[in-house]
Chain A
Amino acid sequence: MLVGTLNNRKEALNTLNIDNIRAEFPILDQDINGKKLVYFDNAATTQKPQVVIDAISNYYTGYNSNIHRGVHHLAEKATSAFELSRKTIKEFINAESTEEIIFTYGTTDGINLVAQTYGRSFLKAGDEIIISTMEHHSNIVPWQMLCEEKGCVLKVIPINDEGDILFDEYKKLLSEKTKIVSVVYASNALGTVNPIAEIIEEAHKVGAVTLVDAAQAMSHIDIDVQALDIDFLCFSAHKLYGPTGMGALYGKKELLNKMPPWRGGGEMIKEVTFEKTTYNELPYKFEAGTPNIADVIGITAAIDYVNKLGKKNIADYENELLEYATERFEAISGLKIIGRAKVKVSVLSFVIDGIHPQDIGVLLDQQGIAIRTGHHCTQPLMQRLDLVGTSRASFAVYNTKGEIDRMVEGIEKAKRFLL
C-alpha cells in the first residue's frame, strides 16, 4: 500500500506493503506441484490484480455493448469506459492528445502498424532502418518484411558482452539514408535499459523517425513521450498488470495524420460508396472492426492500479529484488548472469555450466517455481552471445526476497540432480 512519495530504494520496501499487494492478486494464492507458487515469469506476462479482473467482468455482466454508434444507455456507458482508457493511457505516457493513442492487439501489432503504414508509404529502396542486437523478434521481422518489399536496408546496432549497446557504433550507422530507428527501451532477455533519450536525439539529427518498443519498460520506467520526443511508442497491457491481447500505439499526431489506414472496415470509415471510401479521423482511422472492448476497459484499471502504487515505488522495490537476486545468484557455483548492463529492469537471465536452461526450468517447475527458459524470442541476440538460451527470472511488485531464496534453493537442488 502506498504512503507518500519516496526518494530512495530502502524506504520503498517499508512503504509498499507487499503482503497486501499479494493479496490483491488471487492467482498467487495456489499450490503448483504441491508447493506454493512462485511466479517469476513476469517479463512474459504479469499477473492481474482483482481490480483488473473485476473491471473486465463488470463490463460483461453490467454493460456489455458495442461502442461509438449505439444510442442506448449500455452503448453510451461502454463507449465512455472505452474512451476513458484512451485518456488514461494519454496521461500515463504524457501524450499531447488522445488522438495520438491507437488501440492495438499489443506491441507486435503496433510495430507492424507503423511498418505497414508509415514504412510502406514513406520509405523507398536504399533507405535504411536501424534496430539493435537485443530486439525481440517482433521488432525485427516487421522491418525485414518491409525491407524485402521496398528494397530498404536493415542495420543493427552492436552490443558489448555486458549487454549495453555500443553507442558510438550506433552513431556511425546513422546517415541521411536512415529513415527509421526502432529500438527496445528495456530488453526482455537481458534487462538492459537503453539510453533512449540519446538514441532518439541522434536519430532526429539525421531526420529519422523513432519507434520505441516499450513492452518491458512500461511497468518499470516512467515514460514521457513528449519529454523524450518519441515519434512512435508501442506497448502491451498484459505486461502492465492488464489484460492480454490489448495494447496501444502512440504516434505524434502529424505523423499519424500523414499515414494511410491499414485495416479496412468498421470505425475507421467515415463514408463508403462503391466508388470511394473516406476515412475517419484520428485515432479511429487505425481502429478497424469492433475492438476488444472489455480488455481496453481493463487497461484503465491496470494503470490506475500502477498509479496507486506509484511507478517509482514499484521500480525501486523491483530494483531491490534484482540486486538481492543478483547477489544470491552470484554465489551459486557455475552460474553466470547474462546481461550486466549499467542500467537494468528487474530481469535476471543466467546460464549454469553443463546444464541446459530447459532442464533448470523443468526442475524448478516441479518445485512450484515458474521461470522462462529458451531464446526469449531474441534468437539473434542469443547468437551474438553464443548461447542456446538462458533461464530467466523476472520480478514484479508482488514478488518477495523469500521467493528468491526459494529459487536459489531450487537451483541448488536442480544442480544436484543434473550434474
Chain B
Amino acid sequence: MTIKEIQEEIIEDFELFDDWEGKYEYIIDLGKSLPKMSDEFKTEDNVIKGCQSLVWLNAYTEGDKVYFQADSEAIIVKGLVSMLLKVLSGHKADEILNADLYFIEKVGLAGHLAQTRSNGLASMVKQMKMYALAYTSQELKI
C-alpha cells in the first residue's frame, strides 16, 4: 500500500468514532499493541527532542526500504507514534521525504502535532524524514 492509501485507511477507521472516547480507545489500543522496543535502541541518540514524555526512534533499511521502530513511556504518545510507523515505515526514502501527512489533521489530532513542547509528534515526523534524507544521501553517494 502507498503512504496515501494507508492514511486513507486510518481516516476511515477514525470515521467509525463519533466521540473522543472511541478515538482515544483506538489510539491507546494501538499504543498497547506496539511491540516493545529493545533496550539496546533506547539510547540518548535515539531520543526525540521536544517530547514531554520520552520517545525513542530507531531506523534501519532493508533493500531500498526504510523501516522504523519506536517506543514511548506514555501510552497515548505510543499510540500516535504507532500510527506514524504504520504510515511511514517500509517505504522508500524519497516517498517518506515527500509524504504529506494529512491524516493527522483529518482524524482530529492536529493539536497533538502542533504541541511541539508537550507531545513532540512534529519532532517525531521531522526525525523520520531526517532519517529518510540521510538514507537518500547515502544512496546518492553510492
Contact = CB atoms under 8 A, between A and B. Distances in A.
What bracket does the count of chain B residues touching chain A fall in? 10 to 19
Interface in B22-36: 24-25, 28
Contacts of B118: 358, 374
Interface in B41-55: 52-54
Interface in A1-57: 33
Contact of A418 (B20, B21, B75, B77): B75
A356 B73 contact: yes
Interface residues of A, number: 14
A374 B76 CA distance: 15
A417 interface: yes
Contact of B77 (A33, A355, A358, A366): A358
Contact of A359 (B20, B21, B74): B74
Interface in A351-367: 355-356, 358-359, 362-363, 366
A388 interface: yes
Interface in B72-120: 73-77, 118-119
Contacts of B75: 355-356, 359, 418
Contacts of B119: 358
Interface string B108-142: 00000000001100000000000000000000000
Contact of B74 (A33, A356, A366, A417): A356
Nearest to A355: B75
B52 A362 contact: no
A373 interface: yes
A362 B76 contact: yes
B53 A388 contact: yes
B52 A417 contact: no
Contacts of A374: 52, 118
Nearest to B53: A358
Interface in A398-419: 417-418
Nearest to A365: B111
Contact of B73 (A33, A362, A388): A388
Given A358-B74, A359-B75, A418-B75, A388 B54 contact: yes
A356 B53 contact: yes
A389 B52 CA distance: 9
Identify the interface centre among B52, B54, B73, B77: most chain A CB within 10 Å of its CB.
B52
B28 A418 contact: yes
Contacts, number: 36
A388 B53 CA distance: 8
Interface string B51-68: 011100000000000000
Contact of B24 (A355, A358, A366, A373): A366
Interface string A353-387: 00110110011001000000110000000000000
Contacts of A33: 20
B22 to A, nearest CB: 11
B112 to A, nearest CB: 8
Contacts of A366: 20-21, 24
B79 to A, nearest CB: 10
Contacts of B28: 417-418
Contacts of B24: 362-363, 366, 417
Nearest to A414: B24
A141 B77 CA distance: 30
A318 B125 CA distance: 42
Contacts of A389: 52
Nearest to B73: A356
B106 to A, nearest CB: 18
Contacts of B74: 356, 358-359
Contacts of A373: 52
B20 A358 contact: no
Contacts of A362: 24, 76
A373 B121 CA distance: 17
Contacts of A359: 74-76
Interface in A228-277: none
A366 to B, nearest CB: 5
A365 B119 CA distance: 14
A358 B76 contact: yes
Contacts of B76: 358-359, 362-363
Contacts of B54: 388
Given A362-B24, A388-B54, A388-B73, 7 more contacts: A355-B75, A356-B53, A358-B74, A358-B119, A363-B24, A366-B20, A417-B21
27 contacts: A33-B20, A355-B75, A356-B74, A356-B75, A358-B52, A358-B53, A358-B74, A358-B76, A358-B77, A358-B118, A358-B119, A359-B76, A366-B20, A366-B21, A366-B24, A374-B52, A374-B118, A388-B53, A388-B54, A388-B73, A389-B52, A417-B21, A417-B24, A417-B25, A417-B28, A418-B28, A418-B75
Interface of A: 33, 355-356, 358-359, 362-363, 366, 373-374, 388-389, 417-418
Q: Which 10 A-B pairs have the closest CB atoms?
A: A356-B74, A358-B74, A366-B20, A358-B53, A374-B52, A359-B76, A356-B73, A359-B74, A362-B76, A359-B75
